[in-house]
């Protein structure tokens, strides 16, 4: 048996990522809470309910689990709908609760990374037109200022937006996130306003906190042409990649936001980014299909050889992580893997998923790509948006009726990796022996 260790760079950040609506519970003033109450919106009629009961105080025990798992960083979000439940009314108690959470992380030597907006908004914001309303940009900046003014002494690493590209797609093309539209014009309008919102919040945060490190996290969907020899497949793949993945990073370089037919000037976007957050889950193939105009004539599907997650939601392609990092490196900025994980209630797949992806990540580090940390999605099973509780992404299983957490084997595996700052053949042999020869040839 091989005896080898893939060691990560000194000071590498190891953690998990969470989002407020998915873990806190009772997020009463949010668009998502309202959405969930409508029949047919969430699989099996699920609702977020108490979620993981962080708002009821269970974040403390979960932070202890992070410590037990040797994690030194955590990516969490704050909830706009709690902080500003009605326009311009700031709920200081809610802000204080976030303060307590950040203090609890600090007390455990866990470095926080805070997302300001992770898919979820105040219901009043949605009723005012959401991101279609041009005022949304100023409203978001005001909210960002309030949060950074109040919590800036406890955090200097901010994400303005989580996966704005996926949000636009889900909420304005597929219609399975609120406001549930299927309207390509609205989608580009919203994408542009989200881009402007990041830029204006970026500058506002730097004004208040000159040393802040401000980024965003993109859902990077790795796309390959179904038939590499087909000109049509290649064209639609390039087009989807350009609009879905590339619009945000290239906007930072050009000062323009790329929509379908034109580039919108946002001059202050040039340079308005300190680091790049990459959320990587899967790759898909794209085939030209003239019957799919709403998908830009590209039909997407899984590669037949890629392993599928439990409910077929994710088409697993670990080597893709290295490609995604190389793509992210074009900006010359530090990078973090801000999300990566798999839905797998029985932990049949997750240990090898972890081993394979971390081996790809290690290769990237060895090639001197500036990746500074990895945040696994997620610590404890949480509310998975339109899929409700039907998908289980946690290192810990959650019984929602009792709020009991049970460690899956991969929780122990990830703890060893974090503690050793390394992926060793011994860990892979213990938890994912089926990929030992592949990863330690
Ligand atoms: O749960 C989500 C998260 O909120 C955003 N990225 C993908 C995760 C898994 O579906």
* pLDDT per position as a tens digit, 310-352: 999 999 999 999 999 999 999 999 999 999 999 999 999 999 9
pLDDT band at 294 (very low <50, low <70, confident <90, very high): confident
Domains of the chain, earliest start first:
12-410 (3.20.20.80)
For residues 339 and 281, the answer to whether their CB atoms sit within 8 Å is: yes
For residue 364 and ligand 1, the question of a CB distance below 6 A is answered with: no
For residue 339 and ligand 1, the question of a CB distance below 6 A is answered with: yes
What pTM, to 2 d.p., does this model score?
A: 0.98
* Residue whose C-alpha is closest to residue 279's, from 240, 233, 321, 236: 321
For residues 63 and 102, the answer to whether their CB atoms sit within 8 Å is: no
* 384 CA from centroid of ligand 1 (Å): 7
Instruction: Classify 286 in phi/psi space as left (phi over 0), alpha (psi -120 to 50) or beta.
Output: beta
Task: Return the pLDDT at 318.
Answer: 98
* 225 CA from centroid of ligand 1 (Å): 25
For residue 19 and ligand 1, the question of a CB distance below 6 A is answered with: yes
State the closest ligand 1 atom to the C-alpha of 391, by its place in the atom list counted from 1. 10
For residue 384 and ligand 1, the question of a CB distance below 6 A is answered with: yes
* 437 CA from centroid of ligand 1 (Å): 31
Pocket test for ligand 1, best of 48, 120, 385 (most atoms within 8 A of CB): 385
Q: Is the pLDDT of residue 295 over 90?
A: no
pLDDT band at 360 (very low <50, low <70, confident <90, very high): very high
Task: Return the pLDDT at 349.
Answer: 98
Q: Per-residue pLDDT tens for 370-400?
A: 999 999 999 999 999 999 999 999 999 999 9
Mean pLDDT of the 175-190 span: 97
DSSP annotation string for 106-165 = HHTT-EEEEEEESS--BHHHHHTTGGGSTTHHHHHHHHHHHHHHHHTTT--EEEEEE-HH
Task: Return the pLDDT at 1.
Answer: 79
How far, CA to CA in Å, does 365 sit from each of 217, 325, 333, 336, 370? 19, 10, 14, 11, 7
Task: List the helix and strand counts (H, then E) for the chain.
Answer: 16, 17
pLDDT band at 2 (very low <50, low <70, confident <90, very high): confident
How many Cβ atoms sit within 10 Å of the Cβ of residue 372?
A: 15
State the closest ligand 1 atom to the C-alpha of 339, by its place in the atom list counted from 1. 6
* 188 CA from centroid of ligand 1 (Å): 22
For residue 386 and ligand 1, the question of a CB distance below 6 A is answered with: no
Q: Per-residue pLDDT tens for 108-130?
A: 999 999 999 999 999 999 999 99
DSSP annotation string for 361-408 = HHHHHHTT--EEEEEES-SB----GGGTTS----SEEEETTTTEEEE-
* 357 CA from centroid of ligand 1 (Å): 17
- What is the maximal distance between C-alpha atoms in the chain? 63
State which H helix or E strand residue 247 sits in.
helix 247-254
Q: Is the pLDDT of residue 162 over 90?
A: yes
pLDDT band at 293 (very low <50, low <70, confident <90, very high): confident
State the closest ligand 1 atom to the C-alpha of 385, by its place in the atom list counted from 1. 1
Mean pLDDT of the 414-439 span: 98
* 344 CA from centroid of ligand 1 (Å): 14
């Amino acid at each position: 048996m091989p005896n080898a260790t893939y060691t990560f760079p000194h000071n590498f950040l190891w953690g998990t990522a969470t989002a407020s609506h998915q873990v806190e519970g009772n997020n009463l003033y949010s668009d998502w809470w309202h959405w969930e109450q409508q029949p047919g919106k969430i699989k099996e009629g699920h609702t977020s309910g108490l979620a993981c009961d962080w708002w009821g105080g269970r974040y403390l025990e979960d932070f202890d689990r992070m410590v037990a798992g040797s994690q030194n960083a955590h990516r969490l979000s704050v909830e706009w709908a709690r902080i500003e439940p009605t326009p311009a009314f700031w709920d200081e108690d809610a802000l204080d609760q976030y303060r307590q959470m950040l203090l609890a992380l600090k007390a455990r030597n866990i470095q926080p990374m805070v997302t300001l907006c992770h898919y979820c908004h105040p219901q009043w914001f949605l009723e005012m037109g959401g991101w279609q309303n041009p005022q949304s940009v100023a409203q978001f900046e005001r909210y960002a200022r309030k949060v950074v003014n109040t919590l800036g002494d406890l955090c200097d690493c901010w994400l303005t937006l989580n996966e704005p590209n996926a949000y636009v797609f889900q909420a304005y093309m597929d219609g399975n996130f609120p406001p549930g539209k299927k309207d390509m014009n609205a989608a580009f309008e919203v994408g542009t306003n989200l881009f402007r919102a990041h830029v204006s919040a970026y500058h506002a945060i730097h004004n208040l906190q000159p040393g802040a490190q401000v980024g965003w996290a993109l859902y990077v969907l790795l796309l390959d042409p179904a038939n590499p020899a087909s000109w049509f497949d290649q064209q639609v793949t390039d087009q989807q990649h350009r609009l879905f993945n590339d619009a945000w990073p290239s906007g930072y370089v050009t000062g323009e936001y790329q929509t379908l037919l034109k580039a919108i000037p946002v001059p202050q976007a040039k340079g308005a980014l300190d680091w790049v957050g990459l959320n990587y889950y899967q790759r898909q193939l794209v085939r030209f299909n003239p019957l799919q105009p709403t998908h830009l004539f590209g039909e997407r599907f899984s590669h037949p050889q890629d392993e599928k997650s439990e409910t077929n939601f994710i088409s697993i392609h670990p080597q893709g992580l290295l490609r995604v990092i190389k793509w992210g490196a074009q900006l010359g900025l530090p990078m973090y893997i801000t999300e990566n994980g798999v839905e797998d209630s029985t932990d049949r797949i997750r240990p090898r998923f972890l081993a394979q992806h971390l081996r790809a990540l290690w290769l990237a580090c060895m090639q001197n790509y500036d990746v500074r940390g990895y945040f696994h999605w997620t610590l404890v099973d949480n509310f998975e948006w339109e899929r409700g509780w039907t998908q289980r992404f946690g290192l810990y299983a959650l019984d929602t009726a009792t709020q009991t957490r049970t460690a899956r084997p991969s929780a122990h595996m990830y703890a060893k990796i974090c503690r050793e700052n390394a992926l060793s053949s011994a860990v892979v042999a213990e938890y994912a022996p089926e990929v030992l020869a592949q990863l330690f040839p």
